[in-house]
A and B are shown apart, each in its own frame.
Chain A
Amino acid sequence: NAGVTQTPKFQVLKTGQSMTLQCAQDMNHEYMSWYRQDPGMGLRLIHYSVGAGITDQGEVPNGYNVSRSTTEDFPLRLLSAAPSQTSVYFCASSPRQVGNQPQHFGDGTRLSIL
C-alpha cells in the first residue's frame, strides 16, 4: 500500500526554469492538496482539488499551476522558478467523506532555486 507518492525527493533549479512536481495516491481519494513548508511558517496551502477536473487556489497560489485529469494524480507546476519558491513541498490526500478521516501526506519534495 503505497499511499501518497511524491517525486522527485530533491531538486535544484536555476531561476527561471520550469518543472513539475509529481504526486500520486492509490487510495482512491477525491481530495488532494499541495502545501509548502517554510521555516517558522508551518504548512501553507498552495492549491487543492476536490475531484478530477476540479481545482482551486489556496493561500499562496501565485507562481504555481495545477491540474487534475485523474483521481490518482495531482501534479504541481512551477512556471518560472524564483528563489522565493525554495521550500519543501508536500502533497496530501483525503476521502470526500472527511468526517473522521485523516489527511495522508507524502514524504515531500525538497526544492532549491538558485
Chain B
Amino acid sequence: KQEVTQIPAALSVPEGENLVLNCSFTDSAIYNLQWFRQDPGKGLTSLLLIQSSQREQTSGRLNASLDKSSGRSTLYIAASQPGDSATYLCAVRPSSGYQKVTFGTGTKLQVIP
C-alpha cells in the first residue's frame, strides 16, 4: 500500500525567505505526482504536476522536483509572501489503478510579514 508522508507538518518562515516542502512516498511505481494548495475552508488548487518521467516542473516562484527512485519530491517556493500561507498537499497517482490517488497529510505554511 502506498504511503505518502509530508514533513514537517507545520512551518513558519519570515517573508522573503526561500523554502522547501518535502513529500516522500513508499512505492516508486507512480504515474505522476501533483502538488496542491489548500486555503482554510476551501478546496484544493492544483499547483504543479510532475510526470514520472520528468525531474521537475516550474511555475512562477514555484519549482517541484521528483526523484522517483528514492521516493521523494520537493516543492521549492522562492521569495515567500504572506499570500503563500496555506496548507500544501502532495498526491501520488499510481502507474496502475490510476484512480487510487494517495495524498499526504500536508504541510501548513505560515509566512510572517
Contacts and interface: CB of A to CB of B under 8 A. Distances in A.
A27 interface: no
Interface residues of A, number: 28
A59 B102 CA distance: 10
Contacts of A53: none
Contact of B32 (A43, A59, A100): A100
A2 interface: no
- Please report whether the interface of chain B is mostly helix, strand, loop or mixed according to DSSP: strand
B103 interface: yes
Interface of B: 4, 31-32, 34, 36, 42-46, 49, 51, 89, 91, 93, 98-101, 103-106
Interface of A: 4, 31, 33, 35, 40-45, 48, 50, 56, 58-59, 90, 92, 98-108
